[in-house]
Amino acid sequence: MDTSFHMSLPCLSVKETKDFYINNIGASLGRTSEYWLDINLFGHQLTFIQAEKFNFNSPNYVFEGKMLPSFHFGVIVSVAKWEELYARLNSENLEVVTQTTFLKDKTGEHLSFFINDPNDYMLEFKSFKTPKDMFKS
């Protein structure tokens, strides 16, 4: 699997964001809900999460019952690389956040964990059960 970039950003309107990226930029639409959408931007995954005027002092949202950072970025890697990174970071006694499987038994099922970098940016590592489902709705 080639490595793809993932970035998650807040947006004011899912509808307007979708319209801009699909109709103006020419990107394709991935998975969506009422409150977020995935955009396939030249093979890279942009996730937009609806937020009111974004407040960087409270940058979280709830997905499948877990509190997650709205503003984060990451890399989508193979399962083997994901497992290697997860084991290595845990062995170095770094605080790994929210290691879980999202969308279990659904399109887009993926392993995920988050870790803070020294600048307090939240970095996510994802691995899709079925890589071709990264943008499938």
Domains and CATH numbers, the chain: 4-133 (3.10.180.10)
Question: Is the pTM here over 0.75, yes or no?
Answer: no
Is the pLDDT assigned to residue 98 strictly greater than 60? Answer: yes
Is the pLDDT assigned to residue 1 strictly greater than 60? Answer: no
Task: State the pLDDT at residue 56.
Answer: 61
What is the token pair recorded at 74?
């990451």
Report CA dihedral (119, 122, 125, 129) to the nearest 10 degrees: 180
Rounded average pLDDT over 45-57: 77
State how far the Cα of 67 lies from the Cα of 94, in Å rounded to an integer. Answer: 19
Task: State the pLDDT at residue 59.
Answer: 66
Higher pLDDT, 6 or 67: 6
Is the pLDDT assigned to residue 15 strictly greater than 90? Answer: yes
| Beta bridge partners of residue 61, listed in sequence order | 68
CB 110 within 8 A of CB 103: yes
